[in-house]
Chains A and B, each alone.
Chain A
């Protein structure tokens, strides 16, 4: 890992001391990992959907961190777009979940496994 990552302070005031890019990326990676594990381990469609949202936000934190690190707004602009798309996608996905629930009266993803090879 390049030394500059740990040296450049992104936020000076915090309970654990000055925060560098490393801290932000750690949070991002942790959130993404939690999202993946949640997605893989749970079978409730809504929880799985929430997990995908969490992975989105992890990516958003990483983008904003890099934007701050490089001192430009590209990352923030990207996150605005991602949020907009995520909002639209959330509406669509929740509607699908509702529809799937009506068809099978369950939220278990395994109920939709008949397309197996």
Chain B
């Protein structure tokens, strides 16, 4: 069977290989970008074609197998062999993910071709090689038909993330951030790996088809029922740890804000839109395993972890000044929403939020990146103001507004509003005896929605509107100057005075950046109608989830009446699905209004606003939030420091005891040699005396023996 949509992962892989060849040939052109954008666009086209073909044949999972990737057997019994095909499992979930992964990757690669322009001939090829390799890995993760292929992609995206965070490898902070991301992800990956092993031990297979068939029947490899056995809750818990690491959830979220050290397109694609949703994908994909446990132990933890993460990250985001970092914390927070959605049994809501979030968060990051690019790396919202009014920045400002409205959940006109609603409403609907404390989850998420609206518009009102003011960042370099040279008379000034701030001119983004921003803004609007089509599945994303392994019969999803309805939770006595349209809209609106009052109304300068007057009333809390609730310091003291002490002890043990023993054995021959070395006096006569004396001694001994014997 010729699997033509195998081109989806293969095209980016080929592009990555060609980029490596170009690096080896010392290519100094924009060819890598052309190659990667072209191959990703083709890959997206193939995805769309494959998607239509899949719809045409009736939305059944396609499970083509290309070749046997791993095949080991140690007996003829079932469960005594391990096979993993290099094959694809294409159902609604895979297509949903692949559509936005390849589509966004194409757009962001186009954006990066301009954004990374300073590095043509230096890191340009390296950037695009890793970028294309990332799309290949992500495609393996999403399209693979077994957990091993998923794990390959999982580690592949982790590697590409590491390479791209550490792209500016001369910068110590970037190197540290890359290492942090890699090491924190290892903790999650350990959980995933052990989870996969346990799945193999329990079910005897890692391939989705047979695995989910067995899960459906509720039996293990030997045909025994799984009901009530420990595997039922241990397997989902282990998979959950893997998802927490990759998707930056509460104990393991600390790497994601630091990952903003990478170039902005990387933050947009990998650390906002696609890779960090791999955890959501994993849980959605293995949803049957999570639902196996009637007590929903793992799902309750998922729901609560997501909720805590959402609130915690939102509170940190409120106190930050670096706009890219605020976006990073909002990503963590929105990922928390998705996990809460999965936990309260609306995989539809979670996947729809992944889908809408991918567009508007990529948009937000790319708009912030355009600002950072134009103002020489300036990201501090106290040093930028009124950017939207400056010449050439209108598109960036307006698209940023679209992104902010989406993130804030502005009613009716934004897709973020509908996807967030779905999760909030389901949190109130799902009864507390199914998921413990689901009502509380709803209330916390509602509070978080208000905070999100506030900190999102804090950025917009501070940076994009208000009095015009800017201070450039510290990334002024030669390429930046030559850009200004195009403006003619600026050239003499810039080169004459050097790098002083008075002569800095922000350079507005070019066509590639503006085009990508506009397309993404349009996409985030186009996601709204998908909510209204196919109402029986709660929108297009819902229909995709419905024809995949992620399907969950959400409690109350079909407006049950009578006795069953009393089971369900309510929102203060109203139907949550209806009430939430108003309530979350009002909450979002309130957040925006507060941000308007505190950060725009009456603001005369970039550095201060009305909010500053409020800070003393809150005591030390804003400082704690600005310091990220000291979570990094806590990890430093509780995990890193003990490990450091232990490692230092081992180091000294190794130096003193192990090396000491080895050195001692080396020392013995030297000491012996030192004792007998003076006999080599270098005086010829001395040797002669030695020889004669030795001979005399031998003679005397012989004579004595003969004298006795004789």
Q: Chain A residues in contact with chain B, CB under 8 A?
A: 36, 39-41, 43, 48, 109-110, 112-117
Contacts and interface: CB of A to CB of B under 8 A. Distances in A.
Contacts of B679: 117
B685 A43 contact: yes
Main secondary structure of the interface of B (DSSP, over half): helix
A48 B687 CA distance: 13
B497 interface: no
B688 A115 contact: no
18 contacts: A36-B688, A39-B685, A39-B688, A40-B685, A40-B688, A40-B692, A48-B684, A110-B683, A112-B684, A113-B681, A113-B682, A113-B684, A116-B683, A117-B676, A117-B677, A117-B680, A117-B681, A117-B682
A113 B677 contact: no
A115 B679 CA distance: 11
Interface in B663-710: 676-685, 688-689, 692
Contacts of A109: 683-685
A8 B178 CA distance: 103
Contact of B682 (A39, A41, A43, A115): A115
Interface residues of B, number: 13
A36 B676 CA distance: 25
B681 A116 contact: yes
Nearest to B684: A109
Nearest to A114: B682
A113 B683 contact: yes
B685 A116 contact: no
B377 to A, nearest CB: 67
A109 B687 CA distance: 12
A117 B676 CA distance: 9
Contacts of A36: 688, 692
Closest 3 CB pairs between A and B?
A: A116-B682, A117-B677, A117-B680
B704 to A, nearest CB: 16
A16 to B, nearest CB: 28
Nearest to A36: B692
Contacts of A117: 676-682
Given A117-B678, A117-B682, 18 more contacts: A36-B692, A39-B685, A39-B688, A40-B685, A40-B689, A41-B685, A48-B684, A109-B684, A109-B685, A110-B683, A113-B681, A113-B684, A114-B682, A116-B681, A117-B676, A117-B677, A117-B679, A117-B681
A86 B684 CA distance: 21
Nearest to B710: A2
A8 to B, nearest CB: 20
Contacts of B682: 112-117
B684 to A, nearest CB: 5
Contacts of A43: 685
Contacts of B680: 115-117
Nearest to A39: B688
A54 B210 CA distance: 102
A40 B676 CA distance: 22
Contacts of A113: 681-684
Interface string B641-682: 000000000000000000000000000000000001111111
B692 to A, nearest CB: 5
B677 to A, nearest CB: 3
Contacts of B692: 36, 40
